[in-house]
A and B are shown apart, each in its own frame.
Chain A
Protein backbone atom coordinates (compact mmCIF):
# COMPACT_ATOMS: atom_id res chain seq x y z
CA UNK A 1 0.00 0.00 0.00
CA UNK A 2 2.84 2.36 0.90
CA UNK A 3 4.56 1.57 -2.38
CA UNK A 4 1.41 2.49 -4.36
CA UNK A 5 1.05 5.69 -2.38
CA UNK A 6 4.69 6.61 -2.94
CA UNK A 7 4.45 5.82 -6.65
CA UNK A 8 1.83 8.53 -7.12
CA UNK A 9 4.10 11.04 -5.38
CA UNK A 10 7.00 10.06 -7.62
CA UNK A 11 4.77 10.50 -10.67
CA UNK A 12 3.62 13.89 -9.42
CA UNK A 13 7.08 15.17 -8.52
CA UNK A 14 8.76 13.84 -11.69
CA UNK A 15 6.22 15.56 -13.88
CA UNK A 16 5.58 19.29 -13.97
CA UNK A 17 3.25 18.99 -10.92
CA UNK A 18 5.25 20.82 -8.21
CA UNK A 19 6.29 23.73 -10.45
CA UNK A 20 2.78 24.08 -11.87
CA UNK A 21 1.28 23.98 -8.37
CA UNK A 22 3.74 26.49 -6.94
CA UNK A 23 3.25 28.91 -9.85
CA UNK A 24 -0.54 28.61 -9.58
CA UNK A 25 -0.55 29.18 -5.81
CA UNK A 26 1.70 32.23 -6.22
CA UNK A 27 -0.50 33.59 -9.01
CA UNK A 28 -3.64 33.13 -6.90
CA UNK A 29 -1.94 34.74 -3.88
CA UNK A 30 -0.94 37.69 -6.06
CA UNK A 31 -4.50 38.11 -7.36
CA UNK A 32 -5.97 37.84 -3.84
CA UNK A 33 -3.47 40.40 -2.58
CA UNK A 34 -4.54 42.72 -5.38
CA UNK A 35 -8.21 42.16 -4.62
CA UNK A 36 -7.67 42.72 -0.89
CA UNK A 37 -6.38 46.17 -1.67
CA UNK A 38 -9.49 47.12 -3.66
CA UNK A 39 -11.64 49.72 -2.05
CA UNK A 40 -14.73 49.12 -4.16
CA UNK A 41 -17.98 48.07 -2.56
CA UNK A 42 -21.57 47.45 -3.55
CA UNK A 43 -24.91 47.27 -1.81
CA UNK A 44 -26.81 44.08 -1.39
CA UNK A 45 -30.01 43.62 0.62
CA UNK A 46 -29.42 47.04 2.10
CA UNK A 47 -25.95 46.07 3.27
CA UNK A 48 -22.67 47.43 1.96
CA UNK A 49 -20.30 44.68 0.85
CA UNK A 50 -16.65 45.55 0.28
CA UNK A 51 -14.49 43.63 -2.16
CA UNK A 52 -11.19 44.09 -0.41
CA UNK A 53 -9.91 45.27 2.93
CA UNK A 54 -11.09 44.68 6.43
CA UNK A 55 -14.07 42.86 7.77
CA UNK A 56 -15.67 42.45 4.38
CA UNK A 57 -12.64 41.03 2.56
CA UNK A 58 -14.45 37.68 2.27
CA UNK A 59 -14.76 38.23 -1.46
CA UNK A 60 -10.99 38.32 -1.90
CA UNK A 61 -10.25 35.31 0.32
CA UNK A 62 -13.23 33.41 -0.99
CA UNK A 63 -11.94 33.91 -4.49
CA UNK A 64 -8.52 32.59 -3.47
CA UNK A 65 -9.81 29.31 -2.08
CA UNK A 66 -12.26 28.86 -4.93
CA UNK A 67 -9.48 29.44 -7.47
CA UNK A 68 -7.36 26.78 -5.77
CA UNK A 69 -10.37 24.44 -5.90
CA UNK A 70 -10.66 25.13 -9.66
CA UNK A 71 -6.97 24.43 -10.09
CA UNK A 72 -7.29 21.15 -8.18
CA UNK A 73 -10.25 20.13 -10.32
CA UNK A 74 -8.38 20.95 -13.53
CA UNK A 75 -5.37 18.95 -12.31
CA UNK A 76 -7.66 16.03 -11.55
CA UNK A 77 -9.36 16.22 -14.92
CA UNK A 78 -6.11 16.13 -16.83
CA UNK A 79 -3.99 13.91 -14.58
CA UNK A 80 -6.24 12.15 -12.05
CA UNK A 81 -7.01 8.90 -13.88
CA UNK A 82 -3.43 8.84 -15.22
CA UNK A 83 -2.06 8.96 -11.68
CA UNK A 84 -4.20 5.99 -10.75
CA UNK A 85 -4.08 3.85 -13.88
CA UNK A 86 -0.51 4.92 -14.70
CA UNK A 87 0.54 3.84 -18.17
CA UNK A 88 -2.48 1.58 -18.52
CA UNK A 89 -2.15 1.70 -22.29
CA UNK A 90 1.57 0.93 -22.21
CA UNK A 91 1.19 -1.95 -19.78
CA UNK A 92 2.15 -0.16 -16.55
CA UNK A 93 -0.98 -1.01 -14.59
CA UNK A 94 -1.20 -4.61 -15.86
CA UNK A 95 2.42 -5.16 -14.88
CA UNK A 96 1.83 -3.76 -11.39
CA UNK A 97 -1.16 -6.07 -11.05
CA UNK A 98 1.06 -9.13 -11.49
CA UNK A 99 2.24 -8.34 -7.94
CA UNK A 100 0.46 -10.17 -5.09
CA UNK A 101 -2.10 -7.42 -4.48
CA UNK A 102 -5.80 -7.38 -5.20
CA UNK A 103 -7.20 -4.96 -7.75
CA UNK A 104 -9.26 -3.25 -5.06
CA UNK A 105 -6.16 -2.66 -2.97
CA UNK A 106 -4.30 -1.35 -5.99
CA UNK A 107 -7.10 1.04 -6.92
CA UNK A 108 -7.61 2.42 -3.42
CA UNK A 109 -3.87 2.58 -2.71
CA UNK A 110 -3.44 4.78 -5.75
CA UNK A 111 -6.51 6.87 -4.92
CA UNK A 112 -5.08 7.52 -1.44
CA UNK A 113 -1.84 8.55 -3.10
CA UNK A 114 -3.64 11.08 -5.30
CA UNK A 115 -5.62 12.40 -2.34
CA UNK A 116 -2.48 12.85 -0.30
CA UNK A 117 -1.06 15.00 -3.10
CA UNK A 118 -4.19 17.17 -3.04
CA UNK A 119 -4.25 17.22 0.74
CA UNK A 120 -0.73 18.62 0.66
CA UNK A 121 -1.83 21.33 -1.79
CA UNK A 122 -4.76 22.24 0.45
CA UNK A 123 -2.60 22.30 3.56
CA UNK A 124 -0.27 24.75 1.80
CA UNK A 125 -3.20 26.87 0.59
CA UNK A 126 -4.95 26.94 3.96
CA UNK A 127 -1.70 27.68 5.74
CA UNK A 128 -1.34 30.75 3.52
CA UNK A 129 -4.95 31.66 4.20
CA UNK A 130 -4.40 31.34 7.97
CA UNK A 131 -1.26 33.38 7.65
CA UNK A 132 -2.91 36.25 5.83
CA UNK A 133 -6.46 36.19 7.16
CA UNK A 134 -5.74 38.08 10.44
CA UNK A 135 -4.53 41.03 8.40
CA UNK A 136 -7.42 40.74 5.97
CA UNK A 137 -10.19 40.02 8.42
CA UNK A 138 -10.47 42.40 11.32
CA UNK A 139 -12.12 39.61 13.31
CA UNK A 140 -8.81 37.71 13.21
CA UNK A 141 -7.97 34.18 12.07
CA UNK A 142 -10.28 31.21 11.82
CA UNK A 143 -10.27 28.34 14.33
CA UNK A 144 -8.15 25.33 13.38
CA UNK A 145 -11.10 22.96 13.68
CA UNK A 146 -13.06 24.85 11.05
CA UNK A 147 -10.05 25.12 8.76
CA UNK A 148 -9.44 21.37 8.94
CA UNK A 149 -13.14 20.70 8.43
CA UNK A 150 -13.15 23.01 5.42
CA UNK A 151 -10.08 21.27 4.00
CA UNK A 152 -11.75 17.86 4.37
CA UNK A 153 -14.83 19.10 2.53
CA UNK A 154 -12.72 20.66 -0.22
CA UNK A 155 -10.97 17.30 -0.56
CA UNK A 156 -14.33 15.52 -0.59
CA UNK A 157 -15.28 17.47 -3.72
CA UNK A 158 -12.11 16.16 -5.32
CA UNK A 159 -12.79 12.59 -4.21
CA UNK A 160 -16.16 12.82 -5.92
CA UNK A 161 -14.73 14.12 -9.17
CA UNK A 162 -11.94 11.53 -9.08
CA UNK A 163 -14.47 8.76 -8.48
CA UNK A 164 -16.58 9.97 -11.39
CA UNK A 165 -13.54 10.24 -13.66
CA UNK A 166 -12.34 6.77 -12.73
CA UNK A 167 -15.73 5.18 -13.23
CA UNK A 168 -16.16 6.75 -16.65
CA UNK A 169 -12.58 5.99 -17.69
CA UNK A 170 -12.97 2.33 -16.78
CA UNK A 171 -16.45 2.11 -18.20
CA UNK A 172 -16.20 4.18 -21.35
CA UNK A 173 -12.47 4.76 -21.88
CA UNK A 174 -11.20 8.13 -23.13
CA UNK A 175 -14.74 9.24 -24.02
CA UNK A 176 -15.62 8.68 -20.39
CA UNK A 177 -13.06 11.25 -19.34
CA UNK A 178 -14.58 13.69 -21.82
CA UNK A 179 -18.03 12.99 -20.40
CA UNK A 180 -16.63 13.70 -16.92
CA UNK A 181 -15.38 17.05 -18.15
CA UNK A 182 -18.90 17.87 -19.29
CA UNK A 183 -20.33 16.62 -15.99
CA UNK A 184 -17.94 18.81 -14.09
CA UNK A 185 -18.83 21.84 -16.20
CA UNK A 186 -22.51 21.08 -15.64
CA UNK A 187 -21.82 20.77 -11.92
CA UNK A 188 -20.40 24.29 -11.77
CA UNK A 189 -23.20 25.59 -13.91
CA UNK A 190 -25.88 24.05 -11.72
CA UNK A 191 -24.14 25.28 -8.60
CA UNK A 192 -24.24 28.90 -9.70
CA UNK A 193 -26.42 30.76 -7.33
CA UNK A 194 -27.24 33.12 -10.15
CA UNK A 195 -28.93 30.33 -12.07
CA UNK A 196 -30.84 29.37 -8.96
CA UNK A 197 -31.91 32.96 -8.52
CA UNK A 198 -33.68 32.74 -11.83
CA UNK A 199 -34.96 29.21 -11.29
CA UNK A 200 -36.26 29.53 -7.76
CA UNK A 201 -36.49 33.26 -7.19
CA UNK A 202 -34.45 33.14 -4.02
CA UNK A 203 -32.05 35.89 -4.93
CA UNK A 204 -32.14 39.35 -6.36
CA UNK A 205 -34.38 40.02 -9.34
CA UNK A 206 -32.55 40.33 -12.62
CA UNK A 207 -32.98 44.11 -12.90
CA UNK A 208 -30.78 44.75 -9.85
CA UNK A 209 -27.84 42.97 -11.44
CA UNK A 210 -26.53 45.87 -13.43
CA UNK A 211 -22.74 45.73 -13.23
CA UNK A 212 -20.97 43.29 -15.55
CA UNK A 213 -18.92 41.88 -12.67
CA UNK A 214 -21.89 41.33 -10.44
CA UNK A 215 -22.57 37.72 -11.44
CA UNK A 216 -18.95 36.86 -10.64
CA UNK A 217 -19.31 38.08 -7.08
CA UNK A 218 -22.87 37.09 -6.57
CA UNK A 219 -22.16 33.63 -5.07
CA UNK A 220 -20.35 35.31 -2.17
CA UNK A 221 -23.20 37.61 -1.21
CA UNK A 222 -25.75 37.15 1.49
CA UNK A 223 -29.39 36.46 0.64
CA UNK A 224 -32.57 35.06 2.03
CA UNK A 225 -34.36 31.94 0.82
CA UNK A 226 -37.71 32.63 -0.82
CA UNK A 227 -39.58 29.92 1.02
CA UNK A 228 -39.77 26.31 2.07
CA UNK A 229 -40.46 24.83 -1.38
CA UNK A 230 -37.64 26.85 -2.92
CA UNK A 231 -35.29 25.48 -0.27
CA UNK A 232 -36.38 21.93 -1.00
CA UNK A 233 -35.91 22.41 -4.74
CA UNK A 234 -32.52 24.00 -4.27
CA UNK A 235 -31.51 21.21 -1.95
CA UNK A 236 -32.43 18.73 -4.67
CA UNK A 237 -30.35 20.57 -7.28
CA UNK A 238 -27.42 20.68 -4.91
CA UNK A 239 -27.53 16.97 -4.36
CA UNK A 240 -26.89 16.36 -8.00
CA UNK A 241 -24.13 16.81 -8.89
CA UNK A 242 -22.68 18.22 -5.67
CA UNK A 243 -18.99 18.57 -6.59
CA UNK A 244 -18.99 22.36 -6.63
CA UNK A 245 -21.49 22.74 -3.79
CA UNK A 246 -19.55 20.65 -1.32
CA UNK A 247 -16.52 22.78 -2.06
CA UNK A 248 -18.56 25.92 -1.44
CA UNK A 249 -19.35 24.58 2.02
CA UNK A 250 -15.66 23.80 2.48
CA UNK A 251 -14.72 27.36 1.58
CA UNK A 252 -17.31 28.80 3.97
CA UNK A 253 -16.00 26.56 6.74
CA UNK A 254 -12.37 27.33 6.09
CA UNK A 255 -13.16 31.04 6.13
CA UNK A 256 -15.08 30.73 9.37
CA UNK A 257 -18.34 32.09 8.00
CA UNK A 258 -21.88 30.82 7.84
CA UNK A 259 -22.58 28.28 5.11
CA UNK A 260 -24.46 30.06 2.41
CA UNK A 261 -26.79 29.15 0.91
CA UNK A 262 -27.92 26.84 3.67
CA UNK A 263 -29.13 24.25 1.13
CA UNK A 264 -25.46 23.57 0.30
CA UNK A 265 -25.21 21.54 3.49
CA UNK A 266 -27.19 18.85 1.73
CA UNK A 267 -24.35 18.54 -0.77
CA UNK A 268 -22.07 17.04 1.90
CA UNK A 269 -23.93 13.76 2.50
CA UNK A 270 -24.74 13.77 -1.22
CA UNK A 271 -21.04 13.91 -2.10
CA UNK A 272 -20.25 11.08 0.32
CA UNK A 273 -23.00 8.88 -1.11
CA UNK A 274 -22.13 9.61 -4.74
CA UNK A 275 -18.41 9.06 -4.07
CA UNK A 276 -19.08 5.69 -2.43
CA UNK A 277 -21.33 4.64 -5.30
CA UNK A 278 -18.93 5.76 -8.03
CA UNK A 279 -15.91 4.18 -6.33
CA UNK A 280 -17.85 0.99 -5.71
CA UNK A 281 -18.87 0.69 -9.36
CA UNK A 282 -15.37 1.64 -10.57
CA UNK A 283 -13.89 -1.10 -8.38
CA UNK A 284 -16.43 -3.60 -9.65
CA UNK A 285 -15.63 -2.82 -13.28
CA UNK A 286 -11.88 -2.84 -12.63
CA UNK A 287 -12.05 -6.25 -10.95
CA UNK A 288 -13.82 -7.78 -13.95
CA UNK A 289 -11.76 -6.10 -16.65
CA UNK A 290 -9.37 -8.10 -18.81
CA UNK A 291 -6.10 -6.18 -19.03
Chain B
Protein backbone atom coordinates (compact mmCIF):
# COMPACT_ATOMS: atom_id res chain seq x y z
CA UNK B 1 0.00 0.00 0.00
CA UNK B 2 1.13 3.55 -0.77
CA UNK B 3 -0.25 6.43 1.24
CA UNK B 4 0.32 10.17 0.90
CA UNK B 5 -1.01 11.93 4.03
CA UNK B 6 -1.38 15.72 3.93
CA UNK B 7 1.90 16.10 2.04
CA UNK B 8 3.13 19.61 1.30
CA UNK B 9 6.26 20.70 -0.50
CA UNK B 10 7.47 24.12 -1.51
CA UNK B 11 10.39 24.93 -3.83
CA UNK B 12 11.43 28.51 -3.20
CA UNK B 13 8.19 30.44 -3.55
CA UNK B 14 6.43 27.76 -5.59
CA UNK B 15 3.99 25.46 -3.86
CA UNK B 16 4.57 22.10 -5.55
CA UNK B 17 2.24 20.10 -3.29
CA UNK B 18 -0.35 21.40 -0.90
CA UNK B 19 -1.92 18.78 1.35
CA UNK B 20 -1.88 15.79 -1.00
CA UNK B 21 -3.87 12.79 0.26
CA UNK B 22 -3.91 9.57 -1.76
CA UNK B 23 -4.16 5.94 -0.72
CA UNK B 24 -3.49 3.12 -3.16
CA UNK B 25 -4.31 -0.43 -2.09
CA UNK B 26 -2.66 -3.73 -3.07
CA UNK B 27 -4.09 -5.17 -6.28
CA UNK B 28 -5.00 -1.71 -7.56
CA UNK B 29 -3.67 0.35 -10.47
CA UNK B 30 -3.91 4.06 -9.74
CA UNK B 31 -3.53 6.57 -12.55
CA UNK B 32 -2.11 9.97 -11.65
CA UNK B 33 -2.95 12.73 -14.10
CA UNK B 34 -2.43 16.45 -14.27
CA UNK B 35 -1.00 19.23 -16.40
CA UNK B 36 2.75 19.95 -16.55
CA UNK B 37 4.02 21.41 -13.29
CA UNK B 38 0.99 20.18 -11.32
CA UNK B 39 3.19 18.29 -8.81
CA UNK B 40 3.10 14.73 -10.17
CA UNK B 41 6.87 14.19 -10.25
CA UNK B 42 7.31 15.79 -6.81
CA UNK B 43 4.69 13.40 -5.39
CA UNK B 44 6.55 10.45 -6.93
CA UNK B 45 9.95 11.65 -5.77
CA UNK B 46 8.74 12.02 -2.20
CA UNK B 47 7.38 8.46 -2.35
CA UNK B 48 10.74 7.05 -3.49
CA UNK B 49 12.66 9.05 -0.86
CA UNK B 50 14.48 11.44 -3.20
CA UNK B 51 12.67 14.54 -1.93
CA UNK B 52 11.71 15.30 1.66
CA UNK B 53 8.24 16.74 2.25
CA UNK B 54 7.90 20.00 4.19
CA UNK B 55 5.03 18.44 6.14
CA UNK B 56 2.91 15.32 5.98
CA UNK B 57 4.13 11.81 5.31
CA UNK B 58 4.28 9.17 2.62
CA UNK B 59 4.34 5.53 3.66
CA UNK B 60 5.05 2.41 1.61
CA UNK B 61 3.51 -0.65 3.22
CA UNK B 62 3.37 1.34 6.45
CA UNK B 63 7.05 2.38 6.46
CA UNK B 64 7.87 6.11 6.05
CA UNK B 65 9.26 6.86 2.59
CA UNK B 66 12.56 8.33 3.86
CA UNK B 67 13.44 5.01 5.51
CA UNK B 68 15.58 2.77 3.23
CA UNK B 69 13.60 -0.32 4.27
CA UNK B 70 10.45 1.25 2.73
CA UNK B 71 12.12 0.65 -0.64
CA UNK B 72 12.63 -3.07 -0.10
CA UNK B 73 9.75 -4.01 -2.39
CA UNK B 74 9.72 -0.85 -4.48
CA UNK B 75 10.05 -0.81 -8.23
CA UNK B 76 10.50 2.68 -9.68
CA UNK B 77 10.46 3.57 -13.36
CA UNK B 78 11.55 7.18 -13.85
CA UNK B 79 10.61 9.25 -16.87
CA UNK B 80 14.10 8.74 -18.25
CA UNK B 81 16.21 5.66 -17.52
CA UNK B 82 19.70 6.90 -16.60
CA UNK B 83 21.80 4.41 -18.54
CA UNK B 84 25.54 5.19 -18.54
CA UNK B 85 26.54 5.12 -22.22
CA UNK B 86 29.73 3.04 -22.02
CA UNK B 87 28.51 0.29 -19.73
CA UNK B 88 27.03 -2.86 -21.20
CA UNK B 89 23.35 -3.35 -20.60
CA UNK B 90 23.86 -6.65 -18.77
CA UNK B 91 26.39 -5.03 -16.40
CA UNK B 92 24.07 -2.16 -15.61
CA UNK B 93 21.18 -4.53 -14.96
CA UNK B 94 23.29 -6.76 -12.73
CA UNK B 95 24.41 -3.72 -10.76
CA UNK B 96 20.85 -2.47 -10.35
CA UNK B 97 19.41 -5.87 -9.42
CA UNK B 98 22.23 -6.48 -6.91
CA UNK B 99 21.73 -3.01 -5.43
CA UNK B 100 18.06 -3.85 -4.94
CA UNK B 101 18.79 -7.29 -3.42
CA UNK B 102 17.17 -9.02 -6.38
CA UNK B 103 17.96 -12.26 -8.17
CA UNK B 104 20.51 -11.59 -10.92
CA UNK B 105 19.61 -14.86 -12.69
CA UNK B 106 16.14 -13.51 -13.53
CA UNK B 107 17.59 -10.89 -15.91
CA UNK B 108 17.80 -13.24 -18.90
CA UNK B 109 14.15 -14.37 -18.78
CA UNK B 110 12.94 -10.79 -18.22
CA UNK B 111 15.03 -9.69 -21.21
CA UNK B 112 13.32 -12.35 -23.34
CA UNK B 113 9.94 -11.02 -22.33
CA UNK B 114 10.68 -7.40 -23.24
CA UNK B 115 12.53 -8.30 -26.45
CA UNK B 116 16.01 -7.23 -25.35
CA UNK B 117 17.66 -10.65 -25.00
CA UNK B 118 19.97 -10.05 -27.96
CA UNK B 119 20.95 -6.56 -26.78
CA UNK B 120 22.23 -7.44 -23.29
CA UNK B 121 25.85 -7.40 -24.42
CA UNK B 122 25.56 -4.02 -26.16
CA UNK B 123 26.74 -0.71 -24.70
CA UNK B 124 23.78 0.99 -23.05
CA UNK B 125 24.49 4.14 -25.07
CA UNK B 126 23.58 2.33 -28.30
CA UNK B 127 19.96 1.74 -27.25
CA UNK B 128 17.13 3.80 -28.69
CA UNK B 129 14.74 5.72 -26.44
CA UNK B 130 12.11 3.00 -26.74
CA UNK B 131 14.65 0.32 -25.85
CA UNK B 132 15.76 2.29 -22.82
CA UNK B 133 12.17 2.34 -21.68
CA UNK B 134 11.94 -1.41 -22.24
CA UNK B 135 15.10 -1.71 -20.11
CA UNK B 136 13.25 -0.03 -17.25
CA UNK B 137 10.44 -2.52 -17.65
CA UNK B 138 12.99 -5.34 -17.79
CA UNK B 139 14.40 -4.25 -14.45
CA UNK B 140 10.94 -4.21 -12.91
CA UNK B 141 10.20 -7.68 -14.28
CA UNK B 142 13.50 -8.98 -12.93
CA UNK B 143 12.73 -7.45 -9.52
CA UNK B 144 9.03 -8.40 -9.27
CA UNK B 145 8.39 -5.63 -6.72
CA UNK B 146 5.31 -5.36 -4.54
CA UNK B 147 4.95 -1.63 -5.18
CA UNK B 148 5.31 -0.16 -8.65
CA UNK B 149 5.80 3.59 -9.13
CA UNK B 150 5.87 4.47 -12.79
CA UNK B 151 6.46 7.84 -14.40
CA UNK B 152 5.22 7.90 -18.00
CA UNK B 153 5.72 4.12 -18.50
CA UNK B 154 4.75 4.10 -22.18
CA UNK B 155 6.48 7.28 -23.35
CA UNK B 156 8.69 6.66 -26.44
CA UNK B 157 7.22 3.19 -26.96
CA UNK B 158 5.68 1.84 -30.15
CA UNK B 159 2.28 0.11 -30.24
CA UNK B 160 3.74 -3.30 -29.40
CA UNK B 161 5.69 -1.77 -26.53
CA UNK B 162 2.57 -0.11 -25.12
CA UNK B 163 0.69 -3.38 -25.26
CA UNK B 164 3.58 -5.07 -23.50
CA UNK B 165 3.51 -2.45 -20.71
CA UNK B 166 -0.25 -2.84 -20.30
CA UNK B 167 0.06 -6.63 -20.09
CA UNK B 168 2.86 -6.40 -17.55
CA UNK B 169 0.87 -3.95 -15.40
CA UNK B 170 -2.26 -6.07 -15.52
CA UNK B 171 -0.26 -9.18 -14.62
CA UNK B 172 1.34 -7.38 -11.66
CA UNK B 173 -2.10 -6.32 -10.48
CA UNK B 174 -3.30 -9.93 -10.67
CA UNK B 175 -0.32 -10.92 -8.54
CA UNK B 176 -1.44 -8.44 -5.88
CA UNK B 177 1.04 -5.61 -6.48
CA UNK B 178 0.22 -1.96 -5.77
CA UNK B 179 0.67 0.12 -8.91
CA UNK B 180 0.83 3.89 -9.19
CA UNK B 181 1.41 5.43 -12.59
CA UNK B 182 1.71 8.94 -13.83
CA UNK B 183 0.99 9.39 -17.51
CA UNK B 184 -0.10 11.81 -20.18
CA UNK B 185 -1.50 9.06 -22.40
CA UNK B 186 -5.09 9.19 -21.28
CA UNK B 187 -6.38 6.27 -23.35
CA UNK B 188 -3.90 3.95 -21.67
CA UNK B 189 -4.75 5.22 -18.20
CA UNK B 190 -8.43 4.79 -18.95
CA UNK B 191 -7.88 1.19 -20.09
CA UNK B 192 -5.76 -0.13 -17.23
CA UNK B 193 -6.43 1.99 -14.14
CA UNK B 194 -8.92 1.12 -11.44
CA UNK B 195 -8.92 4.65 -10.08
CA UNK B 196 -7.69 7.96 -11.36
CA UNK B 197 -6.51 10.98 -9.43
CA UNK B 198 -6.23 14.37 -11.07
CA UNK B 199 -3.80 16.83 -9.55
CA UNK B 200 -3.67 20.55 -10.26
CA UNK B 201 -1.46 23.16 -8.57
CA UNK B 202 -0.29 20.60 -6.03
CA UNK B 203 -3.76 19.58 -4.84
CA UNK B 204 -5.88 16.58 -5.75
CA UNK B 205 -8.88 17.82 -7.69
CA UNK B 206 -10.69 14.51 -8.00
CA UNK B 207 -10.10 10.83 -7.30
CA UNK B 208 -12.49 8.21 -8.69
CA UNK B 209 -12.80 5.21 -11.03
CA UNK B 210 -12.53 6.26 -14.71
CA UNK B 211 -16.26 5.80 -15.40
CA UNK B 212 -17.19 8.03 -12.46
CA UNK B 213 -15.15 10.91 -13.86
CA UNK B 214 -17.62 11.21 -16.73
CA UNK B 215 -20.88 13.02 -15.83
CA UNK B 216 -22.55 11.39 -18.87
CA UNK B 217 -21.50 8.61 -21.24
CA UNK B 218 -21.66 10.58 -24.53
CA UNK B 219 -20.35 13.83 -25.97
CA UNK B 220 -22.07 16.22 -28.32
CA UNK B 221 -19.33 18.12 -30.10
CA UNK B 222 -20.49 21.50 -31.43
CA UNK B 223 -18.92 24.34 -33.40
CA UNK B 224 -20.53 27.69 -34.25
CA UNK B 225 -20.43 30.15 -37.16
CA UNK B 226 -20.25 32.96 -34.68
CA UNK B 227 -19.09 32.35 -31.11
CA UNK B 228 -22.06 32.79 -28.77
CA UNK B 229 -21.04 35.01 -25.85
CA UNK B 230 -23.55 33.77 -23.26
CA UNK B 231 -23.21 30.09 -24.03
CA UNK B 232 -23.03 29.07 -20.36
CA UNK B 233 -26.54 30.38 -19.81
CA UNK B 234 -27.85 28.70 -22.96
CA UNK B 235 -26.58 25.31 -21.84
CA UNK B 236 -28.47 25.78 -18.59
CA UNK B 237 -26.44 23.80 -16.09
CA UNK B 238 -25.33 21.00 -18.40
CA UNK B 239 -21.80 19.68 -17.94
CA UNK B 240 -19.74 20.97 -20.86
CA UNK B 241 -16.21 21.81 -21.88
CA UNK B 242 -16.22 25.23 -23.52
CA UNK B 243 -13.08 26.24 -25.44
CA UNK B 244 -13.66 29.58 -27.21
CA UNK B 245 -10.07 29.60 -28.56
CA UNK B 246 -10.84 26.48 -30.66
CA UNK B 247 -14.46 27.54 -31.32
CA UNK B 248 -15.73 24.24 -29.87
CA UNK B 249 -18.12 23.13 -27.17
CA UNK B 250 -18.29 19.57 -25.89
CA UNK B 251 -21.51 18.88 -24.05
CA UNK B 252 -21.95 15.73 -21.93
CA UNK B 253 -25.22 14.00 -22.87
CA UNK B 254 -26.87 10.78 -21.75
CA UNK B 255 -27.81 9.53 -25.22
CA UNK B 256 -28.49 10.65 -28.80
CA UNK B 257 -31.99 11.96 -27.97
CA UNK B 258 -30.52 14.04 -25.16
CA UNK B 259 -28.01 15.44 -27.69
CA UNK B 260 -30.80 16.30 -30.09
CA UNK B 261 -32.55 18.18 -27.31
CA UNK B 262 -29.43 20.28 -26.71
CA UNK B 263 -29.16 21.15 -30.42
CA UNK B 264 -32.84 22.01 -30.58
CA UNK B 265 -32.63 24.22 -27.52
CA UNK B 266 -29.60 26.10 -28.89
CA UNK B 267 -31.17 26.63 -32.29
CA UNK B 268 -34.37 27.92 -30.69
CA UNK B 269 -32.35 30.50 -28.81
CA UNK B 270 -30.88 31.72 -32.10
CA UNK B 271 -27.45 30.01 -32.06
CA UNK B 272 -26.22 29.11 -35.54
CA UNK B 273 -24.53 25.70 -35.20
CA UNK B 274 -22.01 25.07 -37.98
CA UNK B 275 -21.21 21.44 -37.19
CA UNK B 276 -22.28 18.81 -34.66
CA UNK B 277 -21.13 15.28 -33.94
CA UNK B 278 -22.02 12.62 -31.41
CA UNK B 279 -19.57 10.14 -29.87
CA UNK B 280 -18.83 8.23 -26.64
CA UNK B 281 -17.22 10.40 -23.97
CA UNK B 282 -13.58 9.74 -23.11
CA UNK B 283 -11.19 10.51 -20.27
CA UNK B 284 -9.85 13.42 -22.35
CA UNK B 285 -13.31 15.02 -22.14
CA UNK B 286 -13.41 14.36 -18.40
CA UNK B 287 -9.99 15.96 -17.96
CA UNK B 288 -11.14 18.98 -19.96
CA UNK B 289 -14.09 19.35 -17.61
CA UNK B 290 -12.08 18.86 -14.41
CA UNK B 291 -9.27 21.22 -15.38
CA UNK B 292 -11.41 23.84 -17.15
Binding site for B on A (CB under 8 A): 2-4, 6-7, 10-11, 14-15, 86-87, 90-92, 94-102, 105, 288, 290-291
Of the stretches B73-81, B152-160, B231-239, B267-275, the one at the interface is B73-81
Q: Let me know if B186 is at the binding interface, CB within 8 A.
A: no
User: Provided the pairs A98-B76, A99-B99 are in contact, do residues A14 and B86 lie with their beta carbons within 8 angstroms?
Assistant: yes
User: Provided the pairs A91-B78, A290-B51 are in contact, do residues A100 and B84 lie with their beta carbons within 8 angstroms?
Assistant: no
Chain B residue with the shortest CB-CB distance to A15: B86
Q: Which of these, A92, A100, A291, contacts B51 with CB under 8 Å?
A: A291
- Report whether A100 and B72 are in contact in the complex, using a CB–CB cutoff of 8 Å: yes
- Which residues of A are found within 8 Å of B72, using beta-carbon distances? 100
- Which residues of A are found within 8 Å of B68, using beta-carbon distances? 100-102, 105
A11 to B100, CA, bound (A): 19
Q: Let me know if B49 is at the binding interface, CB within 8 A.
A: yes
- Number of B interface residues in the complex (CB < 8 A): 27
A94 to B98, CA, bound (A): 16
Contact with A along B18-56 (1 / 0, CB 8 A): 000000000000000000000000000100111110000
- Which residues of A are found within 8 Å of B82, using beta-carbon distances? 87, 90-92, 94-95
Q: Which of these, B52, B78, B81, B98, contacts A3 with CB under 8 Å?
A: B98
- Report whether B98 and A86 are in contact in the complex, using a CB–CB cutoff of 8 Å: no
Chain B residue with the shortest CB-CB distance to A104: B68
Chain A residue with the shortest CB-CB distance to B51: A290
- Which residues of B are found within 8 Å of A96, using beta-carbon distances? 96, 99
User: Provided the pairs A290-B50, A290-B52 are in contact, do residues A98 and B71 lie with their beta carbons within 8 angstroms?
Assistant: yes
A42 to B86, CA, bound (A): 51
Question: Top 3 closest A-B pairs, CB basis?
Answer: A3-B98, A91-B82, A14-B86
Least CB distance from B203 to A in Å reads 20
A90 to B82, CA, bound (A): 6
29 A-B pairs with CB atoms under 8 Å apart are A2-B98, A3-B98, A3-B99, A4-B99, A6-B98, A7-B95, A10-B87, A10-B95, A11-B84, A14-B84, A15-B86, A90-B80, A92-B82, A95-B81, A96-B96, A98-B48, A98-B49, A98-B50, A98-B71, A99-B96, A99-B99, A99-B100, A100-B101, A101-B99, A290-B45, A290-B50, A290-B51, A290-B52, A291-B45
Least CB distance from A187 to B in Å reads 32
Q: Let me know if B175 is at the binding interface, CB within 8 A.
A: no
- Which residues of B are found within 8 Å of A101, using beta-carbon distances? 68, 99
- Which residues of B are found within 8 Å of A10, using beta-carbon distances? 87, 91, 95
Chain A residue with the shortest CB-CB distance to B71: A100
Least CB distance from B99 to A in Å reads 4
A97 to B76, CA, bound (A): 11
Q: Which of these, A2, A92, A100, contacts B100 with CB under 8 Å?
A: A100
Least CB distance from A36 to B in Å reads 38
- Report whether A288 and B52 are in contact in the complex, using a CB–CB cutoff of 8 Å: yes
Q: Let me know if B69 is at the binding interface, CB within 8 A.
A: yes
Least CB distance from B269 to A in Å reads 54
| Beyond A15-B86, A288-B52, A290-B51, 5 extra complex contacts between A and B, CB < 8 Å | A11-B84, A95-B82, A100-B68, A105-B68, A290-B52
Q: Which of these, B49, B70, B84, contacts A97 with CB under 8 Å?
A: B49
- Which residues of A are found within 8 Å of B71, using beta-carbon distances? 98-100
Contact with A along B208-241 (1 / 0, CB 8 A): 0000000000000000000000000000000000
A229 to B87, CA, bound (A): 56
- Which residues of B are found within 8 Å of A102, using beta-carbon distances? 68
- Report whether A100 and B74 are in contact in the complex, using a CB–CB cutoff of 8 Å: yes
- Residue of B74, B80, B99 with most partner-chain A CB within 10 A: B99
A33 to B65, CA, bound (A): 59
- Report whether B50 and A97 are in contact in the complex, using a CB–CB cutoff of 8 Å: yes
Least CB distance from B101 to A in Å reads 7
Least CB distance from A174 to B in Å reads 19
